[in-house]
Amino acid sequence: MDMNDLVLVSVDDHLVEPPGMFRDHIPAKYRDRAPKVVQRADGTDAWVFEGQEATNVGLNAVAGRPPDEYGAEPTKFSEIREGCYDIDARIRDMNANGVAASMNFPSYPQFCGQYFARAQDRDLGLAVLRAYNDWHVDEWCGAYPGRMIPLGLPPIWDPQLMADEVRRLARKGCHSVSFSENPTKLNYPSLHDPHWDPFWTACSDENTVVNLHIGSSSSVVITSVDAPIDTMITLQPMSIVNAAADLIWSPTLRKFPDLTFALSEGGIGWVPYFLERIDRVYKTHRAWTHQNFGDRLPSEVFLERIALCFIDDEFGVRSRDELNLDMISWECDYPHSDSTWPQAPETLDVYLAGLSDDEIDRITHRNAARLYSFDLFGHNTREQSTVGALRARATDVDLGFRSSERLRKTGTDTVTVLNLVANLPS
Amino acid sequence: MDMNDLVLVSVDDHLVEPPGMFRDHIPAKYRDRAPKVVQRADGTDAWVFEGQEATNVGLNAVAGRPPDEYGAEPTKFSEIREGCYDIDARIRDMNANGVAASMNFPSYPQFCGQYFARAQDRDLGLAVLRAYNDWHVDEWCGAYPGRMIPLGLPPIWDPQLMADEVRRLARKGCHSVSFSENPTKLNYPSLHDPHWDPFWTACSDENTVVNLHIGSSSSVVITSVDAPIDTMITLQPMSIVNAAADLIWSPTLRKFPDLTFALSEGGIGWVPYFLERIDRVYKTHRAWTHQNFGDRLPSEVFLERIALCFIDDEFGVRSRDELNLDMISWECDYPHSDSTWPQAPETLDVYLAGLSDDEIDRITHRNAARLYSFDLFGHNTREQSTVGALRARATDVDLGFRSSERLRKTGTDTVTVLNLVANLPS
């Protein structure tokens, strides 16, 4: 398949929420108490909600920035690319990168709405979370039908409320929800606990995929504070293996046979090793650990029920015969620092060379559309959705680097994780 | 190559230290204060040293036990197979498994001698550690020349003493030392700190391999205390990826170009993904993280300098073209629960089928002998060292399961990691 004929759907990108997002969605009684953007003393911007301050960390919005200005410090809207927070600019950036559709994870609320869950006033927290979801589905995704796969945030403090929100979102056409790779790190029960069963039931009933994004336990992999930051960047995607192990050995997949999980930004190249490992553990240890998969193997259950995705994972794609090609999707990670934007088609094309057209279509868009119950070609035809067609509409998009004196890194010392730790949300 | 013609050298097995080990090696003035074995109130055995009690955890010596009796509780010598602690029985168990030579990690002292490092009396701690090493090299390995690759423990509390011990051991023919995958978890400086430079210098000078065994940070992977124990068993080997990332991004490999590390029990199937990842991180982020590999790539340095090994890793062996076949060895893990003993040749043979004789020899023994400066065929010929020849000498070894009423697991509930956590050394 020619690169220009690819249809690309990214199952993991990120949005930076714009200041006015609550205006049309929050009930009047909560309007004054909804999160708002304020300018900090250092000139950067932050969201504030019930006294909690949430900054936008640099690395999370570096699209279009020269790599020597990447960093973990807080930023301001005027320093980040409009496509991060403005839907019209975002669609143009997608066009310029040949991306037909995209699913967007949140920024300041954290991956499963931890920021809202910390609200002292639970009713306020729920109102804000619902307003967030309404803004996301109706305004951000609604502006360009067929271009954005909606993704909801759950009220993680109450499994029954989570179930209600999943059902409410499904009625709005949203069949995707973000959850935590390890809720115990957020002081909630583990993935092994029946505590979450109402949530799993609703997701199962509504055909809603539970997405576990790397970092959704509010933690990053820190081997030591003086480790070069490259250590954390290297390890973060594969750390999702911990959630993969939790999922396969927990009762959840077997108890809810129609429930699908997705490991977002986790990559795929390590998975064949993992599958061999879980089957070996099962055969060697089940006599005393009492795991029971009936007539199946853990690897078979994993391959059927856990959706995977990758940004740039040549070895993983080459090893696809070890995986389930119906459960692998592609992602772009715009506007994070691991993104291949605006060269995603060129990056992918190199190692899609040996694949059949059918294999390519499954990875690039068919799996994503099926998994997320997303009507990809109902609003735009396939012909209108190809890399070539989209890029032809975006020839005027400025793809040059935009530099900021303030963010330029000077010196040559290795950057350690200390810099990042200081800016992590609590 | 016929299975019976394989020559197997295992670079990762374990010994359980026998009660009388210090008798001929500790200076007279410390004899009464050396660690000794005592019987605990529950009938199990423990080592005691300066008031520190160290038990032998069941899973660490289960060779020959029925799988439904595996577990994490303390054991006693009478419940474990003689080959764990008796060198004559051990050689017979190796023969029965067709293993020509083996490198043995410690049990009660922990992987890098943490137990000795906690001594209040530093001089006593050093005397005991040296006595341990002398016992290991002269008595345990010396009893059967050419059958045991010696492995030293370092006095981790002092890098200069570590260097001295590495040089002393090298004079005794020992070119292998065990160290920590993450010393910060033992309250020492990280792998990135120049603190360890005297140790690295000595290892580099003496051609001594630094082995980082999984668990050598005195910790195991616990996603939550109610996680099924299968989760920890699944994740533990691959958790060495954290040390791999530390090594590649720390200055150490580049500062000491003749120093070799080994990732013990880490497996190999995840490594191709990891290599692609570190090169991508380097290319994407070096402009601001200031990493510098000159005209090389991180993956090239990794492949040259980091030795890998596997127990049972079919996908990894199949992916060998992505790795450096001169740095891959095999391991048996006797008498731990992941071991393939006494069917190691049969297990390996299945997926060595597609390899050339030269590839097989490198993986099964040539790399191990070269890396550890071990004279494999100086005492026994190749013909005497094959699976077939060794097994022919061990036809009388009883390989049947030995059962213990006390250890049998009843009930069918999933076993969680809580059981293990309770028995972890501090």
Q: What would the DSSP string read from start to end of A222-246? A: -S-TTSBHHHHHHHHHHTTHHHHHH
**Cβ contacts of residue B357 below 8 Å, gap of 6+?**
B1
Largest distance between two CA atoms of chain B = 64
Q: Is the pLDDT of residue B337 over 80?
A: yes
Q: Which of A233, A284, A288 sits opposite B281 (nearest CB)?
A: A233
Residue-wise pLDDT for A255-279, tens only, equals 999 999 999 999 999 999 999 999 9
The whole-angstrom separation of Cα A114 and Cα B87 is: 56
Mean pLDDT of A136-160: 98
Stated as kind and residue range, the H or E segment containing B203 is: helix B197-206
| B231 with A238: Cβ contact below 8 A | no
pLDDT band at B161 (very low <50, low <70, confident <90, very high): very high
Q: Tell me the mean pLDDT in the region A38-65.
A: 90
DSSP string computed for A152-210: B---TT-HHHHHHHHHHHHHTT--EEEE-S-GGGGTS--TTSGGGHHHHHHHHHHT-EE
Model pLDDT, residue A423: 65
What is the tens place of the pLDDT at every residue in A82-131?
Answer: 999 999 999 999 999 999 999 999 999 999 999 999 999 999 999 999 99
ipTM over 0.90: yes
pLDDT level of residue B420 (50, 70, 90 thresholds):
confident
pLDDT over 90 at A412, yes or no? no
CB pairs under 8 A between A and B: 223
On whether the CB atoms of residues A196 and A189 are closer than 8 A, the answer is: yes
| pLDDT of res. B424 | 62
| pLDDT score for A13 | 98
| Widest distance between CA atoms in chain A | 64
Residue B55 to residue A209: CA distance in whole angstroms = 46
Question: In a mutagenesis test of the B interface, which of A188, A249, A343 is the best target, namely the one with the most B β-carbons within 10 Å?
Answer: A249
Beta-strand runs (E) in A243-388 = 261-264, 306-310, 328-330
pLDDT at B157: 98
pLDDT, chain A, mean: 95
Are A227 and B249 inside 8 Å of each other by CB?
Answer: yes
Q: Which among B67, B231, B290 has CB closest to A249?
A: B231
- Separation of first and last alpha carbons in chain B: 46
In this prediction, what percent of chain A has a pLDDT beyond 70?
99
| Position B59 confidence tier, pLDDT thresholds 50, 70, 90 | confident
pLDDT confidence band for A58 (50 / 70 / 90)? confident
Structural domains for chain B = 3-422 (3.20.20.140)
| Minimum CA–CA partner of B317 in chain A | A273
Q: Closest chain A residue to B182 measured between Cα atoms?
A: A223
Which of B241, B275, B277 best tests the A interface by mutation, with the highest count of A CBs <10 A? Answer: B277
Task: Say if CB A303 and CB A326 are below 8 A apart.
Answer: no
Phi then psi for A180, rounded to 5 degrees? -100, 135
Write out chain B residues lying below 8 Å of A229, CB-based.
Answer: 285, 289
Q: Give the residue from B288, B312, B323, B414 with the most A CB atoms within 10 Å of its CB, the best one to mutate.
A: B288
DSSP track, B295-347:
TS-HHHHHHHHEEEEESS-HHHHHTGGGS-GGGEEE---TTSTT--TT-HHHH
Total-model pTM: 0.97
Q: Characterize the bridge pairing of strands B36-39 and B45-49.
A: antiparallel
Confidence band (pLDDT; 50, 70, 90) for B260? very high
pLDDT of residue B348: 96
Instruction: Identify whether the C-beta of residue A178 lies closer than 8 Å to the C-beta of residue A151.
Output: yes
In angstroms, what CA-CA distances link A260 with A20, A113, A203, B231?
34, 20, 8, 20
pLDDT in tens, A173-194: 999 999 999 999 999 999 999 9
Between B233, B241, B322, which is nearest A238 by CB? B241
Q: What is the model's pLDDT at position A72? A: 78
Residue A219 clears pLDDT 80, i.e. is over it: yes
CA–CA distance, A425 with B413 (Å, rounded to integer): 38
Q: Which residues of A touch B224 (CB under 8 A)?
A: 182, 184, 190-192, 246
**pLDDT at position A117:** 97
Question: How far is A310 from chain B, CA to nearest CA, in Å?
Answer: 12
Contact across the interface for B242 and A250, Cβ inside 8 Å: no
Q: What is the mean pLDDT of residues A37-56?
A: 93
Q: Chain A residue with minimal CA distance to B417?
A: A289
Nearest Cα residue in chain A from B67: A287
What is the structure's pLDDT at A425?
56
Structure tokens at B374: 């071990």
> In angstroms, rounded to a whole number, what is the distance separating the alpha carbons of residues A6 and A390?
11
Question: pLDDT at residue B425 above 60?
Answer: no
Per-residue pLDDT band at A405 (split at 50, 70, 90): confident
**pLDDT at position A411, please?**
78
* Cα–Cα distance for residue pair B358/B410, rounded to 1 Å: 48
